Amino acid sequence: MGTGTPSPESLAALDALRERIQHKTAKIGVVGLGYVGLPLIQAFVNAGFSTLGFDVDPEKIAALENGQSYIGHIPAEWIQEWTARDAFAATNDMARLAEPDVIIICVPTPLNDSRDPDLSYVEATAAQIAHALRPGQLVVLESTTYPGTTRDVMLPILNESGLALGSDFFVAYSPEREDPGNIDYTANKIPKVVGGMEPNSLELAVTLYSHAVVETVPVSNCEVAEACKILENTYRSINIAMVNELKVLFDRIGIDIWEVIEAAKTKPFGFQAFYPGPGLGGHCIPIDPFYLSWVARKHEMPTRFIELAGEINTSMPRYVVSRVAEALNDIGKPMRGSRIGILGVAYKKDVDDPRESPSFKLMELLQEKGALLSYNDPHIPILPSMRHYQVPRLASEPLTPDYLASQDCILIATDHSAYDYEMIVRHSQLVVDTRNATSHVTDGREKISKA
């Protein structure tokens, strides 16, 4: 399907959808109400559209129906305002996918156990859409994936509807660029790259997003838009790997990598600062480059930069654990049996997002060496179960002087702004800092070890 001469009814569907988008009477459906989907709802509601959110998790739907938020940087007041204005409703009834004029897919695209792309969520969502698809709908994939996914994976499933691409229904790809917790770059403030499956799809998608974002950047096809996202995050992965490797080297020769970076970034051209850490976290940077290397393997081409960056970044938790062992050894304590308190399990500062956080790998490695673990994170009160990590079921400990003093080592894994680092160092026996969070602490610097 998807070919043939458009019927008068199909042309009418195209014109009607174009008009609804232009006049903001189109209903926007968003599938996947997580760290990408909910901010996208906010952007379209603020632009004057009516929205319908879909998610398979009944707990999320119940929370939204009760005006509650499960994402820290999405206030409950926003959801209550959307609902009060009749601009938003949430459902797990996928039969209602026929209702929206636009369906935007924001579902997870993880890696499987062999580090190959897992597109099961995209495929399942596409099948549900195909079952409900009607003339006059635009389907946009935002989930990060490899070039060719929209055309080779999603489109054939949508074609099972029997409708014609480019006249009955329309398909585009626009990569999400969400930066959780960054108030300077909310969804409506970030330029949106848009690729269409054919000209009508591109025109409709660009018109749609131009209402909700600061700028649209149309590209020639979906593959370019898909590759754009992979490039952005591979660029970051490789540069972070470089500074992580330099951190290990400079530590051996007694040079502070953080001071080096601060000096280097005074150069007004030709340099962008990237910072080391205990490992990569979040959905994008630890995962996206492996999508590209998977594509390269299919085309019998090695991707040495990408693979090497992945090796370096995934080795950082082991480096941190070795530094913890050295710091404990310096004060006459073995790792086995030592009480280690981890500060921060979110993957980045000031968010409640634990996806792919290096803290979970740190916990695994520390447990293997016999450490007794606890943690504090003001944004994550209960340690969630993780798909790829075996971590203990813990609750965040109150960050009190007594708690700090009771730990043999405090490991700063995430540098939340809420932490009083002067107080932390003052009351701790030993602090291992992976984020340079204690750089301005003056008293007790002899207790601090960088990692």
Residue closest to 36 by CA, chosen among 156, 177, 146, 170: 177
Q: Let me know if 409 is a catalytic residue.
A: no
Instruction: Please tell me the distance from the alpha carbon of residue 202 to that of residue 218, in angstroms, as a whole number.
Output: 7
Q: Kindly report the backbone phi and psi dihedral angles of residue 221, in degrees, each rounded to the nearest multiple of 5, phi listed first.
A: -165, 175
User: What tokens were used for 17?
Assistant: 């959808």
Instruction: Please tell me the distance from the alpha carbon of residue 257 to that of residue 381, in angstroms, as a whole number.
Output: 32
Instruction: Determine the residue type at 214.
Output: V
User: What tokens were used for 127?
Assistant: 């099948």
Instruction: Please tell me the distance from the alpha carbon of residue 367 to that of residue 405, in angstroms, as a whole number.
Output: 21
Instruction: Please tell me the distance from the alpha carbon of residue 96 to that of residue 140, in angstroms, as a whole number.
Output: 17
* Alpha carbon of residue 424 to chain centroid: 29
Strand partners, 192: 216
Instruction: Please tell me the distance from the alpha carbon of residue 401 to that of residue 132, in angstroms, as a whole number.
Output: 58
User: What tokens were used for 419?
Assistant: 């932490």
Neighbours of 236 (CB within 10 A): 18
* Alpha carbon of residue 335 to chain centroid: 33
User: At what angle are helices 76-84 and 37-46 packed, to 10 degrees?
Assistant: 50
User: What tokens were used for 131?
Assistant: 């079952």
Please classify residue 370 by burial: count the beta carbons closer than 10 Å to its beta carbon, then call 0-12 exposed, 13-18 middle and 19+ buried. Answer: exposed
Inter-residue contact 170 to 137 (CB < 8 Å)? yes
Among 106, 222, 284, 409, which one carries the catalytic annotation? 284
Catalytic residues: 284
